[in-house]
């Protein structure tokens, strides 16, 4: 058994920051990242065989819990037949059919290999379809790391975006307009001025990358309305919410139909998969039918399709999401009680199997600015206390948490017992 600190030192020699995705480095909470060796059901086991109750679930995909036997069997069966062909396979059609059945706004879908690819391609399609360049996103939402989406707000309400990373050309960022999430008036004001130039709005219908922020009443409807009025494309980025907040996605839950939907995480059941889909009218603009180019060597990979399709089949069981929602509510109600007992200012958000924890005096958190004002020091100490107690939370105050179908009442109770002890030390 090798200690995480040794593994991390070795990794840092060969991998920038020791990790292949920045949040994994524990830069948000300090300390050495935990190295996982294996996972089963609601648990992850580290390199020293310590068990943790897992509320990250690989950042969302593991809605069934880890290593679900039927998913693993599907992967094994597929792998034995060969890993990749670069030619059409039947399972791609079965996957596409399933996605179209489940998501009200998807008539056709194209598979890719990550959420980043899905959103990048959807933006290109929206621009190609409308013949316009400007896109609108919201501060605090994350849509992967393609240039056009790695942009933050410039100063002043209606100024254009500035790159949020070196390497993103200012000229690319200038076409991305960043607004405030849940601010319908801001959206209307922008469209009144520039509506005819805007190709699309891309939005997380429940924000999950500034902790967890549900859409305010009327917000998604306003987006639909302005896009309809100005001929812009509405993109719901359901990489996180798809099949998570409801079997039919956020679009099913809130009954607002986007023109395009981007997917990832659960659709791959833990394998590298993304997808984008929408109305036939728009999707038919994609190559080879139409002029908007998009492609992928490993897109629709059969092993990944096997994991994803089996996952989608299993979560379609009657009552699956109701139970997931109840378990999540039980966790959050219990955490709130324990925090109150310990006299710690704390509040939570929940949509289905997705949740947010906030160390804040405010009872309702609905804006990015409020998330930024939460007590980060307390979060860090809570995170490390829980880790010590064998509970793995997202190592950042700005990420949503996830419950899986494998989290039992006993797991929730054990989590609450740990939280009682940790809240009392804060
Ligand atoms: N969109 C959303 C809403 C996401 O949460 C993420 C990843 N957390 C992405 C896009 C990017 O997906 P990926 O990491 O698979 O590229």
pLDDT in tens, 387-416: 999 999 999 999 999 999 999 999 999 999
Per-residue pLDDT reduced to its tens digit, 332-351: 999 999 999 999 999 999 99
- How far away, in angstroms, is 342 Cα from ligand 1 center? 35
Q: Whose CA is nearest to atom 5 of ligand 1?
A: 240
Cα separation, 200 vs 224, whole angstroms? 11
Q: What is the helix (H) or strand (E) element at residue 276, kind and residue range?
A: strand 274-278
Spelled out in words, what is the top-level CATH class assigned to the domain 69-315? Answer: alpha beta
Cα separation, 88 vs 388, whole angstroms? 48
Kindly indicate whether the ipTM for this predicted assembly is greater than 0.90, answering yes or no.
Answer: yes
pLDDT score of 159: 58
The predicted model gives 65-77 an average pLDDT of: 98
Tokens of 97: 């059919």
User: Which ligand 1 atom lies nearest to the CA of residue 265?
Assistant: 15
- CATH assignment, 4-67+318-423: 3.90.1150.10
Q: Answer yes or no: is pLDDT of 352 > 80.
A: yes
CB contact set of 259 (below 8 Å; sequence gap of 6+): 105, 126, 200, 227, 233, 234, 235, 278, 279, 282
The predicted model gives 115-133 an average pLDDT of: 98
pLDDT score of 155: 63
Per-residue pLDDT reduced to its tens digit, 131-172: 999 999 999 999 999 999 999 877 654 557 888 899 999 999
Cα separation, 181 vs 274, whole angstroms? 24
DSSP 156: S
- Average pLDDT of the chain is 96
Ligand 1 binding pocket mutation candidate from 19, 62, 142, 276 (most atoms within 8 A of CB): 142
β-pair partners for 414: none
The predicted model gives 88-107 an average pLDDT of: 98
Q: What is the helix (H) or strand (E) element at residue 355, kind and residue range?
A: strand 354-358
pLDDT score of 89: 98
pLDDT score of 133: 98
Ligand 1 binding pocket mutation candidate from 111, 122, 137, 143 (most atoms within 8 A of CB): 143
Q: Whose CA is nearest to atom 13 of ligand 1?
A: 115
- How far away, in angstroms, is 112 Cα from ligand 1 center? 13
pLDDT score of 156: 57
Q: What percent of the chain has pLDDT over 90?
A: 96
Identify each DSSP E strand in 105-209 by its residue range.
Answer: 108-112, 134-138, 151-152, 162-163, 176-179, 198-203
Tokens of 311: 């996952």
Ligand 1 binding pocket mutation candidate from 239, 261, 354, 356 (most atoms within 8 A of CB): 239
Q: Answer yes or no: is pLDDT of 218 > 80.
A: yes
**Catalytic residue ranges:** 142, 237, 265
User: Which ligand 1 atom lies nearest to the CA of residue 117?
Assistant: 16
DSSP 22: G
pLDDT score of 332: 98
CA within 13 Å, CB half, 341: 15
pLDDT score of 229: 98
Q: With cut-offs at 50, 70 and 90, classify the pLDDT of residue 215.
A: very high
Per-residue pLDDT reduced to its tens digit, 275-294: 999 999 999 999 999 999 99
| Contacts for 325-330: CB closer than 8 Å, 24+ residues apart | 325/350, 325/352, 325/353, 327/353, 327/403, 327/407, 327/409, 327/412, 328/352, 328/353, 328/354, 328/355, 328/403, 330/409, 330/412
The backbone region for 278, taken as left when phi is positive above 0, alpha when psi lies in -120 to 50, beta otherwise, is left
- How far away, in angstroms, is 140 Cα from ligand 1 center? 13
The model's pTM: 0.98
The predicted model gives 85-93 an average pLDDT of: 98
Q: Answer yes or no: is pLDDT of 423 > 70.
A: yes
Q: Which of 96, 104, 80, 56 is nearest to 404 (CA)?
A: 56
Q: Parse the chain into domains and list their residue ranges.
A: 4-67+318-423, 69-315
Cα separation, 257 vs 264, whole angstroms? 18
Are 106 and 79 in contact, with CB atoms under 8 Å apart?
Answer: no
Torsion of CA 144, 237, 369, 344, to 10 degrees: -100
Per-residue pLDDT reduced to its tens digit, 20-41: 999 999 999 999 999 999 999 9
Tokens of 135: 């896109």
Q: In what order do the strands lie in the sheet with 51-54?
A: 36-40, 43-46, 51-54, 391-392
Q: Which of 424, 332, 331 is nearest to 381 (CA)?
A: 424
Cα separation, 243 vs 354, whole angstroms? 11
Q: Answer yes or no: is pLDDT of 378 > 90.
A: yes
Q: Which of 380, 5, 349 is nearest to 208 (CA)?
A: 349
Write out residues with Cβ below 6 Å of ligand 1. 59, 114-116, 119, 142-144, 204, 208-209, 237, 239-240, 264, 274
- How far away, in angstroms, is 290 Cα from ligand 1 center? 27
Alpha-carbon distances of 343 from 357, 374, 377, 393, rounded to whole Å: 16, 16, 16, 21
């Amino acid at each position: 058994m090798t200690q995480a600190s040794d593994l991390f030192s070795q990794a840092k020699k060969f991998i920038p920051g020791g990790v292949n995705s920045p949040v994994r480095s524990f830069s948000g909470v300090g300390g050495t990242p935990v190295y996982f060796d294996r996972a089963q059901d609601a648990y992850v086991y580290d390199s020293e065989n310590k068990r943790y109750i897992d509320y990250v679930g690989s950042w969302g995909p593991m809605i069934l819990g880890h290593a679900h036997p039927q998913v693993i069997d599907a992967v094994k069966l597929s792998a034995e037949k060969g890993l990749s062909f670069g030619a059409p396979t039947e399972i791609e059609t079965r996957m596409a059919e399933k996605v179209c059945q489940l998501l009200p706004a998807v008539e056709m879908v194209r598979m890719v290999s990550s959420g980043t690819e899905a959103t990048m391609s959807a933006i290109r399609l929206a621009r190609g379809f409308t013949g316009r360049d400007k896109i609108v996103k919201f501060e605090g939402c994350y849509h992967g790391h393609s240039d056009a989406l790695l942009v933050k707000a410039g100063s002043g309400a209606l100024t254009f975006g500035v790159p949020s990373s070196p390497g993103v050309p200012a000229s690319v960022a200038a076409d991305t307009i960043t607004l405030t999430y849940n601010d319908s008036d801001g959206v209307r004001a922008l469209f009144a001025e520039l509506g005819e130039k805007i190709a699309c709005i891309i939005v997380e219908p429940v924000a999950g990358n500034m902790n967890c922020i549900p859409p305010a009443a009327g917000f998604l409807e306003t987006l639909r309305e302005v896009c309809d009025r100005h001929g812009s494309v509405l993109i719901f980025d359901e990489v996180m919410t798809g099949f998570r907040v409801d079997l039919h996605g956020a679009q099913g839950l809130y009954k607002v139909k986007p023109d395009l939907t981007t997917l990832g995480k659960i659709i791959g059941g833990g394998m590298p998969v993304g997808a984008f889909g929408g109305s036939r009218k728009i999707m038919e603009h994609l190559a080879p039918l139409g002029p908007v180019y998009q492609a992928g060597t490993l897109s629709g990979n059969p092993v990944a399709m096997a994991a994803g399709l089996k996952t989608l089949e299993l979560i379609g069981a009657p009552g699956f999401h109701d139970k997931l929602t109840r378990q999540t509510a039980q966790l959050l109600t219990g955490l709130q009680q324990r925090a109150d007992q310990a006299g710690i200012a704390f509040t939570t958000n929940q949509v289905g199997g997705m949740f947010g924890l906030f160390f804040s005096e405010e009872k309702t958190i609905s804006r990015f600015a409020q998330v930024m004002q939460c007590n980060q020091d307390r979060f860090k100490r809570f995170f490390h206390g829980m880790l010590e107690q064998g509970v793995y939370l997202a190592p950042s105050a700005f990420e949503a948490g996830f419950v899986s179908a494998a989290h039992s009442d006993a797991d929730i109770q054990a989590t609450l017992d740990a939280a009682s002890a940790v809240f009392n030390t804060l």
